[in-house]
């Protein structure tokens, strides 16, 4: 509500002047300056119908207008613009850009910024890190989850310092620049996080122009025109060509199984490399196929199991080509294991639906309960969509739930060898509580091989 709205609510300028005792002249001044000095708040709050929320709304509106008309404040070289009109000025780093536009999200992980930014699931998104010291351990050649950086940009609190870690090969800002991606620091990441938690997902625009000229109005319009992630199939943009994957994880919780290895086809909807490493370490020989592979192409490789990877975008959009392929695999009675986007695709292939979460889960400390064992796992997560449990047919059971908001975190078919989880058991970054799922997948294939299936 703006000033005029408040005055109207109180019955007009004369009325409000009389009720508050501030005088008509003062009320006129509020109108001109579009602000109400806080010293007048207590009197205003006695006016029937006027709430603290009304007055804070005005403050926010006014701040926005000041922000928008302010030319780049001294020292600021970049800005993060939100679709609701909020402008956060800061210092840019990495590659210059006039406008990087995407869904603004936040991740609460305290480690693993390099893994997060190279996780293809973040395509179409700008990541705000709630942990303030991003870039402090630099970057290295081993921690990428994919060769390209998928996230559109990074929003961080503190300035990027000289890397302090023996594994660092390159400073975070030069690494970002080499990946042609932009960062902004010096912004209030807590305020962004609160706003995203209160209002839900929002479009953000990151600008760090070479010439230093930032004109907010046209950029805000561009930001508002971005259609949002819903309906976007991004898996086909980040998927990689067919390849054989042979590398296992570096710190294997168990010795790698060298005998009776299982032939697995992994569908790459935007797969993180560490998932493929986990499959290899658990005992799989992994052939990776691109996202759009058909059921026939998958089955032609005679897999003993099919793995469905994580990935970006709206699972309902990717389902158009992925679900028919997965259904072919299920019809052929080949065991299926899915992670994150793979979980959402399996749920749809089994007859369920997905929806956009009001508050996405992103971070490495998300508690999940395994309903079959009662055990609680601390998991790594990164998703903005979820499986709608109400849409699941009766032959699909819920196996895991989030202890943060009760949303679905895992399913299993009661008639097929198919199961999946919404979280990231490969945990890169994150705790390795959930490695057992890779072993569970291999155990299913072992059982079938031993039974001569
Ligand atoms: N990490 C993932 O696979 C994310 C899946 C999906 N893009 C989501 O946001 O829910």
Over the stretch 162-204, which tens digit does the pLDDT of each residue have?
999 999 999 999 999 999 999 999 999 999 999 999 999 999 9
More confident position, 231 or 59:
231
pLDDT band at 65 (very low <50, low <70, confident <90, very high): low
Chain segment 385-413, per-residue pLDDT in tens: 999 999 999 999 999 999 999 999 999 99
Q: State the average pLDDT for the chain.
A: 92
Give residue 59's pLDDT.
61
Query: What domain range includes position 445?
Result: 235-450
Q: Two tokens at 173?
A: 């800002």
Residue 239 has pLDDT above 80, yes or no: yes
Task: Report the length, in residues, of the chain.
Answer: 453
- Residue whose token pair is 């705000």: 128
Ligand 1 centroid distance, CA of 409 (Å): 12
Chain segment 354-378, per-residue pLDDT in tens: 999 999 999 999 999 999 999 999 9
Ligand 1 centroid distance, CA of 212 (Å): 35
What average pLDDT does the segment 346-359 reach? 97
Q: Is 411 in the pocket of ligand 1 (CB under 6 A)?
A: no
Q: Are residues 94 and 62 in the same domain?
A: no
pLDDT band at 4 (very low <50, low <70, confident <90, very high): confident
We report the CATH number of the domain holding residue 248 as 3.40.50.880
We report the CATH number of the domain holding residue 96 as 3.50.30.20
Q: Is 384 in the pocket of ligand 1 (CB under 6 A)?
A: yes
Q: Are residues 239 and 256 in the same domain?
A: yes
Q: Are residues 104 and 191 in the same domain?
A: yes
90 close to 78: Cβ distance less than 8 angstroms: yes
Give residue 383's pLDDT.
96
Q: Are residues 212 and 353 in the same domain?
A: no
Mapped onto helix, strand or coil, the DSSP state of residue 5 is helix
pLDDT band at 21 (very low <50, low <70, confident <90, very high): confident
In a domain, 292, yes or no: yes
Least confident of 42-51, 102-111, 387-396, 436-445: 42-51
Ligand 1 centroid distance, CA of 90 (Å): 29
Q: Two tokens at 358?
A: 């009001």
Q: Are residues 179 and 114 in the same domain?
A: yes
In a domain, 59, yes or no: yes
Measured distance CA(334)–CA(418) in Å, rounded:
8
The predicted model scores a pTM of 0.85
Q: Are residues 92 and 33 in the same domain?
A: no
In a domain, 230, yes or no: no
Residue 2 has pLDDT above 80, yes or no: no
In a domain, 187, yes or no: yes
Which ipTM was obtained for this model? Answer: 0.97
Residue 144 has pLDDT above 90, yes or no: yes
In a domain, 243, yes or no: yes
Give residue 71's pLDDT.
65
Mapped onto helix, strand or coil, the DSSP state of residue 135 is coil
Q: Are residues 272 and 409 in the same domain?
A: yes
Residue 21 annotated as lining a ligand binding site: no
Residue 72 has pLDDT above 90, yes or no: no
Residue 419 annotated as lining a ligand binding site: no
Single out the catalytic residue among 340, 343, 377, 417.
340
The residue among 225, 247, 269 that closes a domain is: 225
Q: Are residues 304 and 215 in the same domain?
A: no
Q: Are residues 348 and 370 in the same domain?
A: yes
What average pLDDT does the segment 2-20 reach? 82
pLDDT band at 311 (very low <50, low <70, confident <90, very high): very high
Quick one: residue 334, left, alpha or beta (phi over 0 = left, psi -120 to 50 = alpha)? beta
The residue among 163, 192, 225 that closes a domain is: 225
Number of domains observed in the structure of the chain = 3
For CA atoms 146, 151, 154, 155, give the dihedral sign: negative
Least confident of 46-55, 150-159, 283-292, 369-378: 46-55
Q: Are residues 286 and 424 in the same domain?
A: yes
Residue 382 annotated as lining a ligand binding site: yes
Q: Are residues 96 and 147 in the same domain?
A: yes
- Residue whose token pair is 């989850």: 145
| Closest to 94 (Cα-Cα) out of 10, 189, 9, 184 | 184
The residue among 36, 51, 69 that closes a domain is: 69
Give residue 30's pLDDT.
81
Q: Are residues 215 and 349 in the same domain?
A: no
Chain segment 198-214, per-residue pLDDT in tens: 999 999 999 999 999 99
């Amino acid at each position: 509500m703006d000033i005029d709205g408040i005055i109207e609510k109180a019955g007009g300028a004369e009325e409000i002047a009389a009720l508050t005792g501030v005088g008509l002249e003062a009320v006129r001044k509020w109108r001109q300056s579009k602000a109400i000095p806080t010293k007048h708040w207590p009197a205003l709050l006695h006016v029937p119908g006027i709430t603290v929320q009304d007055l804070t709304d005005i403050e926010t509106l006014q701040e926005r207008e000041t922000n928008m008309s302010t030319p780049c404040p001294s020292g600021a070289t970049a800005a993060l613009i939100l679709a609701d009109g909020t402008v956060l000025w800061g210092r840019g780093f990495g590659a210059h850009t006039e406008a990087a536009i995407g869904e603004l999200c936040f991740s609460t992980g305290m480690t693993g910024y390099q893994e997060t930014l190279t996780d293809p699931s973040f395509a179409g998104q700008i990541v705000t890190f709630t942990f303030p010291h991003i870039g402090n351990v630099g970057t290295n050649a081993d921690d990428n989850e994919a060769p390209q950086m998928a996230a559109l940009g990074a929003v961080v609190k503190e300035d990027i310092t000289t890397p302090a870690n023996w594994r660092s090969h390159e400073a975070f800002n030069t690494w970002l620049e080499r990946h042609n991606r932009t960062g902004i620091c010096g912004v209030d990441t807590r305020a962004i996080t609160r706003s995203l938690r209160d209002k839900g997902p929002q479009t953000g625009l990151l600008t760090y122009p070479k010439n230093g000229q930032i004109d907010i109005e046209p950029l805000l319009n561009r930001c508002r025109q971005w259609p949002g992630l819903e309906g976007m199939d991004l898996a086909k943009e980040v998927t990689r060509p067919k390849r054989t994957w042979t590398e296992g994880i570096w710190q294997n919780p168990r010795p790698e199984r060298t005998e009776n290895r299982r032939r697995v086809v992994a569908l790459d909807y935007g797969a993180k490399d560490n998932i493929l490493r986990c499959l290899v370490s658990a005992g799989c020989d992994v052939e990776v196929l691109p996202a759009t592979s058909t059921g026939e192409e998958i089955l032609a490789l005679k897999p003993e199991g099919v793995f469905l990877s994580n990935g970006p975008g709206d699972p309902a959009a990717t389902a158009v080509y992925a679900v028919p392929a997965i259904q072919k695999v299920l019809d052929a009675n080949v065991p299926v294991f899915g992670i994150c986007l793979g979980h959402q695709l399996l749920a749809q292939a089994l007859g369920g639906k997905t929806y956009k979460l009001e508050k996405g889960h992103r971070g490495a400390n998300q508690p999940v309960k395994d309903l079959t064992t009662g055990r609680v796992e601390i998991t790594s997560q990164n998703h903005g969509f979820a499986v709608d449990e109400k849409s699941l047919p009766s032959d699909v059971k819920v196996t895991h739930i989030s202890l943060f908001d009760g949303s679905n975190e895992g399913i299993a078919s009661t008639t097929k060898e198919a199961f999946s989880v919404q979280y990231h058991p490969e945990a890169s970054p994150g705790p390795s509580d959930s490695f057992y799922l890779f072993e569970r997948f291999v155990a299913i294939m072992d059982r079938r091989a031993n039974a001569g299936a």
